[in-house]
Structure 1
């Protein structure tokens, strides 16, 4: 994929610089470029977000080189072009405007494989027609990768009719004051917090909830851990349940987790009055920096399934 101003064409990929995966509705990861001597200059400045998931991330590996890189990093304009190109193409597939293939009912913001939602891109800079004329050639990797033999690429049906819980699409996003960028794609969101030692953060949903029969199931998908892989996991992530009429009777429940895998917790609450749901994140003094990502919060007016239940009365 070559970026030349506003033009976008697909080309055979030559030598590339690798990049980390990121969600498509976030920024595209940076990548290091090829130096004048033809060697890679990885990891001159290793960002915490790279070190979070791997102690030996490709962008954190130092290689000795006396060469000076031609250029390093992907600027904001390139990131916008990459994200726009991917999501526009995906929306065209979902709405049936790209080919004779049927519409997709469950497509997130990525390429044709419905559940793919992360992209990492890198490029090489090379001279083309003259010593003063350079071009960038990009390649991108995707996760989850998709293209699994025997599995469906996406569910056939009218666009947006089978979006995952916790997402919105098209006009349904208006009730959440969200304006979707692409009419045929299920829109997702998440909250992230990165804290240093001794810091804390708290988030509470403004709208109270109440069960007509006194039972609620709270489902939370998240991941948390040290901001640098290999250091101690010390962050305390808790669910907060606060009665509206008696906030001093706030209850907490600890949420466990790991730095790589997404965790799912389901907690049954027994309240017959209005409560507010929230989360707190605390990093004890003397601890390394910690992070937490909240991907999904769902609330059902029923008890959680027995095998997932963690009751809070």
Structure 2
């Protein structure tokens, strides 16, 4: 088997390491020159065929499968050429979900994914099963797939770019926090963006949704599993930070804990310990600089952005901040 990896950043390194360990021949291409990729190239297996500084369709010669990094547009010329040749196109997260033996919780939304993913990992760690947290947050998870057993919880932050590369992700719990127009330069329409987010729940055993978000509420009919409205979760979890969006993040994490069979005391204890530690690092006021989120009080701003997106006026603003290690939403 011969594989082409498009993109030589962290996702590409994880793919190259995993595939070569499986005995596959691996070619890695990237438009950036080697000088701009030194930190990741040092981690590449020595057997990899590197083609840097640009590529064309000749990169597909002798290739059986193509793996695209999240930053590579899913409709890029090279990927479309591969499809036209009958070559399967996949991704790091797609390969991980196909090979992962653990119980997977996938968390998506326009804002709050990183915070909620981290809090969910903390909550599940209060139980007696090992927990691995990854995806769009922190390190890649493919390089840890061999250590994951059926006894593991795996909590993944999933961006729209990642969900685009997994047509039917099978998750135990799919969480959608909120949806506002984003990345329309890549996804073109707000409906396409919504459809990609919906993939997190369409085949999930549990669809954990925010009933306060009208767009998310409308997605409930697309869930194949049990729908749980995390905004209705009781008792309210501890949340020292102001803002409804912060409470919604904690509610989602607590609701996952409930699905996992944890007691309310265990959930509360885990969140208290984590949030008190976070608050002490922020200072006495607990202030944290975060991007504007859908849970903020100014709902009129959301409505204006949706009207503009649905009517095709302007481009939605892209948020940059804590919710990405690759700038993905």
What is the TM-score of this pair, normalised by structure 1? Answer: 0.24
Q: Rg bigger for which structure?
A: 1
The structure in which a higher percent of residues are helix is 2
TM-score (norm 2): 0.23
